[in-house]
Amino acid sequence: MEMKKYLRTVLILGIMLVCQPAPVLGKEYSEGYRIVINIPRHSLTLFLGENKIKTYPVAVGKPGTATPVGSFSIYNRAVYPVWHPRSKDPVLPGPDNPLGVRWLGFYRGYGIHGNNDPASIGKSVSAGCVRMYNYDVEELYSMADIGVPVKVEYQDLIDIVDEGVLMVYCDVYERQKGFRNSITRELEKTGILDKIPEKKLECLFHALSKKPVVFSDKWVLMVNGEYLTADTIYDRTMIFVNADDLNSFFGICIEWDDRNNTGKLMGRPVSAYKTGDNIYASIADVAGIIGGKLSAVPDIEELNYSINFVKLDGKFLTSGVIDFTTRPGIDASLIGADGEGYVYIDNLDKEGFRYNIFSRKGYIDVFSPGYQG
């Protein structure tokens, strides 16, 4: 009897979750939270007024089941939602439930929710909903209440990320007429169209059919799929990257060693060039010291650096992070936390630490008790 009551409650909640009517849209909150989802960029950005709070990676609808574009608002919410697939039994919260740990409905059964497949984040694979990492949607849920505006966009596929460098996102729903011509015009404006060899240019356009690409006349460094820099030097055997860019992002300190006429990092030598006041360090040597994995795509001159890491009080701590996309943890001894083995990041507040997970960029900021930087 109790089980029947439970299933009846589950069914009612599921109907409320999926079958709500379209919301009546209110005015934009100039001083409150608002959400902007960009489909080609696979991103969800939370704003407070005009201030950007955080950008999260998301999965969106595949071409046959596109995520709806328009202005909406959060009209229902659920903790540990029940999934009601068509013509199937309800799926209760747990590892088999693709809605994950939170639900934020924004339009006629479409919602922002967690996941049970972290590898899908950053792709166009859903039935139209917007998936997030579970820890990200928990964070968003704590700020996005009923009525918070949600704007879903299909725009800004071309972005000037540096001088003479264009980041171009894949036209996943093939809605951009004359897209190649638009890119070519932007390349002409930046003055680099004639600097990119024709063979490389064709390879870049071909790669764009499957993933975002960076148009540059130099090798570019991507970290966890995100653009970091095109300020590089290629000497046919090694790729050297502007040390200031690496130092700023990773919280490391690559210096010039006058005695040995090379670079150094954490007391170890790093192959490097020095041109004026700038140091260019071998990214292979840097990866050999701080960890991570490098892979190159020579035909488009793209170097991909896969690394999940933690910074403590702004300085590089470790790349020994476990379960980054589900429940990140690090060696407890690195931060003097109680106990042995690994400590989960979401338990650090019990130790007096603060933390912020930047899942889109692949790292975690941790701050010691009392740290004011």
Q: Which of 19, 42, 84, 113 is catalytic?
A: 113
Whether residue 206 lies in the annotated active site: no
How far apart, in whole angstroms, are the C-alpha atoms of residue 251 and residue 201? 34
Contact yes or no for 48/136 (Cβ under 8 A): no
For residue 16, the SS3 value is helix
Distance from the Cα of residue 73 to its chain's centroid: 23
How far apart, in whole angstroms, are the C-alpha atoms of residue 102 and residue 134? 8
Q: How far is CA 299 from CA 76, 138, 224, in A?
A: 47, 40, 19
Angle (deg, nearest 10), helices 283-290 and 243-250? 20
How far apart, in whole angstroms, are the C-alpha atoms of residue 25 and residue 275? 56
Whether residue 42 lies in the annotated active site: no
Q: Which of 42, 129, 170, 203 is catalytic?
A: 129
Contact yes or no for 232/239 (Cβ under 8 A): yes
Residues in the chain: 373
Contact yes or no for 40/156 (Cβ under 8 A): yes
Q: How far is CA 295 from CA 94, 292, 365, in A?
A: 35, 10, 25
How far apart, in whole angstroms, are the C-alpha atoms of residue 345 and residue 327? 7
Q: Is the CA virtual torsion 131, 136, 137, 140 positive or negative? A: negative
Distance from the Cα of residue 333 to its chain's centroid: 28
Contact yes or no for 182/176 (Cβ under 8 A): yes
Positions annotated as catalytic residues are 113, 129
